[in-house]
Structure formats: C-alpha cells, structure tokens
Amino acid sequence: MNLTKNDKPASILVVDDELSVRDSLTKWFTEDGYKADAASDATEALKKLKPGKFDIIFLDIKLPGMDGMELQHRIKSVDPNATIIMITAYASVDTAVKSLKEGAYDYVTKPVDPDYLSHLVSNVIKQRRLASENIQLREQIQELYEIDQIIGESPAMLKVFDLIKTVAPTDTTVMIKGESGTGKELIARAIHSNSPRRFFPIITVNCGGLTEGLTESEFFGHEKGAFTGAQYRRKGKFEMANGGTIFLDEVGNIDPKSQTDLLRVIETKQFTRVGGDEIITVDFRLICATNRDLELAVKEGKFREDLYYRLNVFSISIPPLRERRSDIPLLCNYFLKKLAAGINKPVTGFSSEAMEQLKAYPWPGNVREMRNAIERAVVVSKGSAITVEDLPIPPSSKAVPEDQSLESVERVHIKSILDQMGWNITRSAEILGIDRATLYHKIEKYGLRK
Amino acid sequence: MILYILPLRFQDNALLVDLSSTLSEVFKLPVSILQRTLPLDEGYDPVRNQFNSSWILSRLLKLTPEESCKIIGVTEVDLYVPVLTFVFGEAQVEGQVAVVSSYRLRDELYGLPKNPERLKERLEKEAIHELGHTFGLIHCRDPECVMHSYTYAEEIDFKSKNFCTSCAALLKSKKNKFNDMI
C-alpha cells in the first residue's frame, strides 16, 4: 500500500497529549510499515525535530503549553518541507481550517475513519515522492543544457566547443588548461552533461585546497576511527563519483604522495578507504584542470611524468579573455541580462563609453572577474544602462605606470584588484590566480594598505 | 509453541472450531480453545457503543498462560482504538496477544442477507492477519497476501488466507528465532 521492500520507509511523528491517541496512531503506522515516533507536547516534539527527519507530522491542535497552531509555525521554521496534518476534535474545526491557511496539508477529526487515514497518508507520500523526483529531473535537465552557459562566438571558443562535442561521448580522460577564471569547471560540467554518464554524478575536488594529510581521505574516504576525529565512516570522492565523472580542479597542486595514489586508482580503478582493508572498485571518468604549466612542473621534478601522461590524454585549452576580445560584448550582455533578472532590476544595457572601457580592459581575472564586475555594476546602477561610473574597473586601463619594472606593474595590479574586491583576500587571490598565502606575502612585500 | 483462542462474548462455537483448525493448518502449530471468561465491561465506551481493543489486549496479556504461546481473543462486539472510528482487530506487534471482531465482517450489517460461509472466511483471514502481526509481520503491498490491510469488509474477500512468498519467509524466520529463544 505504501512502500516497496527497497524503499526507505516514510517517517511519521505524532504529537498529541493523549497517550491513547499517540499509542494507537504510532501502532497503526508501524503496522503499515512506516517509521513512527511520538511526542506528548511541543517541547518534546521540537527536541525530536530535525530538518528532513520526519516526512509527515500529525499535530493535535490543543496541546498543553504551546498550542498546535504555534507549534506548526515553529515546525515550519525548522523543517519547511515536512507535511503537517492537524488532529482536531469537532469543537476545533474552525482552528483546523485556519491552520490549513497557515500551510497545514489537511486535518483529521477524531475519531478518524481508518480508510480515510490510510488514503491520506498514502497520498501525501505519493505527492512527496513526485515532488522529489521532479526536483531531481529538473536538476538533470539543467545539467544537460549546461553547454549553453558557455558563451562565446570567437574562433578560439568555437574550437573549444568542437573539442567538447568530440570528447564528451567518449570515456577519454580530459585535461582542461586555462588561466584562473576562464571557466574550466563549466567546461568539465559540459563534457559530463553531454556524456553517457550524465545521469550519474559529477564530483568536483578542489585539489588546491587540500593538504597532504587530507588528500587521501578526501579521495578515498576513511573508516570510523581511522584517525583522530574520524568519528564516522565517510565515502571518498572517487566512491561518490561511481558511475559518473570525477573532476580534479587545480590538479597540479597535488602533493607527491597523492600523485602516486592517484596514478594507482587511475590504473586499477580500485582503492581502499583510509584505515580500511576492503578493496573498493569504482567506475569513473576523469576530467582535470590546471592553471599551472604542468610540463614545466614535470621537467622540474615536481609532478610525476607518468601521471602527467595519464592525465593529458585529450587536452582542451581555454583562451584567456584578452585573447578573445570579440566575445566581450556578448559575455557582458549575457551577464547583465542574467544578473539584472536575478535581482529584479530594470538595467538593460551599457552606455557606449562603458562598453568601450569593458572591451579595453585586460581582464586578468578573466570571465570570473567580468561576472563580478558586472554584478557590482548592476547593483550600484541607477539608470537603465550601466555607465563608466558604475564599473569597478580602472577608467583608463590602457594607462601604464611610469615605472614599468615588473615589480612595479605587479604592485599596481595587485592593489587595483584588492581595491576592486574591497580587500576580500580570497576573491582577489582567485582573480590573480595565486593562493592566499602568496597574496599575503605580496601585500607585505609591497607594503600595500587599504 | 501453542496458539490459544479465547472467546469473548462469542456464541458461535462451530465457527470457533473451524477457526481453530484453520489457524493450526496455517501456522503449523497446535491450537487450543480456552474455556475462560474475561469481563469486557470496563473496556466499553457507552458514547461510542464500542469496546476498546487496546484495553482488551492489555487484559489478554495478563491471562497469557506462559511465554511460549500466543493468544487471540475472538469477539462479536464492535471494536475501536481511541483515534479511529473502528478496527476489525488489533495485535501486539511481535508480541503475544491479538483480538479480532466479527461485528463488521457480517454481511447483514450492510443490509445484505446473512452469509455464514463468507463470515467464516473473513474471520479466518483477519485472525491470521492479526496473529501475523504478533510474529512481527507488517502490512504487505501484495493485495492477495493475508497481511494486506483492507479497511472495508468486502475488500477482505479480495485477499487469500495465505501469506505471500516474502511474508511466508519472514514468518518462518521469526518462528525459528522465537523457537531458539525459548
């Protein structure tokens, strides 16, 4: 009637101050194969409540202390997705109707007809399953169209699109090369979304943010008690990507020990969790990205040569924005439309001076920097078109400092990016394509101040 | 293990004898009809004109002769649990006691002519169903399995007296587990 042998049983909470009601309802639901729990008042109910813990909550309108109506509000604030059904006596039907207006799904009047109760619960569960399937399908459809989010008509980008279409249906390992902010993850998602693995997950690992000790656990997971703080068994990213794609961002930053581990898992498709001895076999497609010159890293002995050749099977290079300036107006208008709609602001275009400035600017942080600049401009803009004053980029980007030494240019550029980003170190470092520690070092070196 | 049937305001002895042999056949256990009386007055609700089945279960538990048995009360009175308008029966899940009522299983309650054979079939199915709960079985999706839950008397006729394959397997393992414990 309500669940298959493989389904997780729906979970129901009964909140009623009458023991006989709690007992009979929880027993009825247990016999029907649901997971049932009960609470005698609001305090006990709120203690048991956690987001997603209960699918359906039966709630008596008249409770000691906090009444059912108030508890309904509290429940909605903790778990807005829980379906609430009010339990009422004949005398409180008016209140029950009021509770429906406040978002309750339905109400039952005591004593309730067993057939009605059975159908009510069964219908709620069907609806919840459909809603959940609907969300999953929407997400999948959204992923399928992700290639449309990559904007560009320049010959360089058309070549990238061709390469994506060629490699996507295969299982080939792909290496995406490009400066920071060029949209490497978007390309990886587009490849996955157009591959036969699209109905399985794409799992991203930001290798740049992993320390040597963390990488192994992040890649392969760990068993409970494998190390201090490992309180639960945890799946690693390779296990999570089973059937789908694993995307290793900033793969050039992986430490030597993890390079060896990575090589082994690529070759054997097998690994064990940290602290475990069970051999886990996984099926994944590998896509990785780097903004470093890996060939140079290989020559310098910082990156294993055998791993490099394993990763660099099919290479896609994304040109920096300054090398495809013809795409700038297209990208600007795309972001403007998307971002203005997002905050419901009637900004529809750029003044001709603003567009000239956007086209002239070198965009060291590439598309990511452009998106952030336009987002800020949309927020501060007061008219229907974005003006030069709205743009957070230097008015004369072609101007060069008198002192043209490399250090001086770097100093001016870093200061400019920091100012634009309101001295947000993380975002500035991202745009500059360096890590936070390096940025702090340069701030100190050049004596930069807010 | 032994199954006991306790008549509670139940007059039709022939029906009890038939029920006894059916239960014995289905559960492959000896069945005995208890010759004891259990006053039901305290479980009666004059406003609803019904008897509280949970109260009856609590009394049956006190009567249970030994641990290695299950006991099912069979009655002609109308049963309820407080939050529901009526029940055909009730059982202690993975416990020792159950109760079943013939009151709403009778065709004459719905303006139809008496049908003793149909009443016998329905009573047997509901008694097997409630005893199934005492062995830890829950409701089954298979509409022909005796553990399928129906809330209308005429729907009970859809199901058989048998357990589906998976419920039968579960019943067997629960019985073995119980036998190991005693």
Could you read off the pLDDT of A263-318 as tens digits, one per residue? 999 999 999 998 888 899 999 999 999 998 899 999 999 999 999 999 999 999 99
CA distance A244 to A158: 26
pLDDT of residue B146: 96
pLDDT of residue A400: 46
pLDDT of residue A4: 34
**What is the number of structural domains in chain B?**
1
- Find all residues with CB under 8 Å of A445, minimum gap 6, and list them: none
Confidence of residue A436 (pLDDT cuts 50, 70, 90): confident
Q: Which residue in B42, B67, B130, B144 is the catalytic one?
A: B130
Pick the residue of A4, A5, A18, A24 with the most B CBs within 10 A to test the interface with B by mutation: A24
CATH number of the CATH domain containing B47: 3.40.390.10
Tokens 């256990």 locate to B29
Looking at the predicted structure, is the pLDDT value of residue A157 above 80? yes
Q: Which long-range contacts (CB under 8 A, 24 or more apart) does B166-173 make?
A: B166/A5, B166/B140, B167/B132, B167/B137, B167/B140, B167/B142, B170/B136, B170/B137, B171/B132, B171/B135, B171/B137
Confidence of residue A142 (pLDDT cuts 50, 70, 90): low
Please tell me whether the overall predicted TM-score, pTM, comes out greater than 0.80 for this model. Answer: no
Query: Pairing relation of β-strands A83-88 and A174-177?
Result: unpaired
Confidence of residue A424 (pLDDT cuts 50, 70, 90): confident
Give A-chain residues touching B141 at CB under 8 angstroms: 1-4
Q: A413 or A175: whose pLDDT is higher?
A: A175
Say which of B48, B82, B84 has its CB closest to residue A114: B84
Q: How far is A111 from chain B (nearest CA, A)?
A: 5
CA distance A341 to A374: 13
Confidence of residue A140 (pLDDT cuts 50, 70, 90): low
E strand or H helix that includes residue A97 = helix A93-101
- Out of A106-110, A414-418, A446-450, B40-44, give the one with best mean pLDDT: B40-44
Among A250, A279, A254, residue whose Cα is nearest residue A265? A279
pLDDT of residue A404: 67
Range A372-389 average pLDDT: 91
Confidence of residue A131 (pLDDT cuts 50, 70, 90): confident
pLDDT of residue A115: 86
pLDDT of residue A26: 92
Question: Average pLDDT over chain A, rounded to whole?
Answer: 86
Looking at the predicted structure, is the pLDDT value of residue A145 above 60? no
Does B143 sit behind a cis peptide bond, omega within 30 degrees of 0 on the bond before it?
no
pLDDT of residue A397: 46
Give A-chain residues touching B151 at CB under 8 angstroms: 113-115, 118
Amino acid in position A177: K
Say which DSSP state B9 is in: S
pLDDT of residue A144: 54
B42 catalytic? Reply is no
CA distance A168 to A195: 5
Q: A410 or B162: whose pLDDT is higher?
A: B162
State the DSSP string of A223-269.
-TTSSTT--S-EE-HHHHTTTSEEEEETGGG--HHHHHHHHHHHHHS
Q: Which residues pair with A261 in a beta bridge?
A: none
Confidence of residue A20 (pLDDT cuts 50, 70, 90): confident
Residues A335-378: pLDDT tens digits? 999 889 888 888 999 998 999 899 888 898 999 999 999 999 99
Range A189-218 average pLDDT: 87
Confidence of residue A6 (pLDDT cuts 50, 70, 90): very low
Say which DSSP state A118 is in: H
A with B: how many residue pairs have Cβ under 8 Å apart?
67
In chain A, which residue's Cα lies nearest the Cα of B89?
A28
A440 neighbors A432 (Cβ within 8 angstroms): no
Give B-chain residues touching A118 at CB under 8 angstroms: 149, 151
In chain B, which residue's Cα lies nearest the Cα of A4?
B141
Q: How far is B14 from chain A (nearest CA, A)?
A: 31
Give B-chain residues touching A2 at CB under 8 angstroms: 139, 141
Q: How far is A15 from chain B (nearest CA, A)?
A: 13
pLDDT of residue A409: 82
Give me the phi and psi of A137, to 5 degrees please.
Answer: -65, -40
Structural domains for chain A: 11-139 (3.40.50.2300), 149-317 (3.40.50.300), 322-399 (1.10.8.60), 400-450 (1.10.10.60)
pLDDT of residue A213: 75
In chain A, which residue's Cα lies nearest the Cα of B145?
A1
User: Within chain B, which residues score under 50 in pLDDT?
Assistant: none
Contact check, Cβ <8 Å, B83/A112:
yes
Query: Pairing relation of β-strands A349-350 and B89-91?
Result: unpaired
Range A111-131 average pLDDT: 89
Give the N- to C-terminal CA distance of chain A in Å, as an integer.
Answer: 66
CA distance A360 to A430: 22
In chain B, which residue's Cα lies nearest the Cα of A108?
B83
Tell me, yes or no, if A18 comes closer than 8 A to chain B by beta carbon.
yes
CA distance A401 to A34: 72
Confidence of residue A147 (pLDDT cuts 50, 70, 90): low
Looking at the predicted structure, is the pLDDT value of residue A449 above 90? no
Give A-chain residues touching B48 at CB under 8 angstroms: 111
Residue-number span of the structural domain to which B90 is assigned? 2-181
Range A172-190 average pLDDT: 92
Tell me, yes or no, if A1 comes closer than 8 A to chain B by beta carbon.
yes
Query: Pairing relation of β-strands B69-75 and B2-8?
Result: parallel
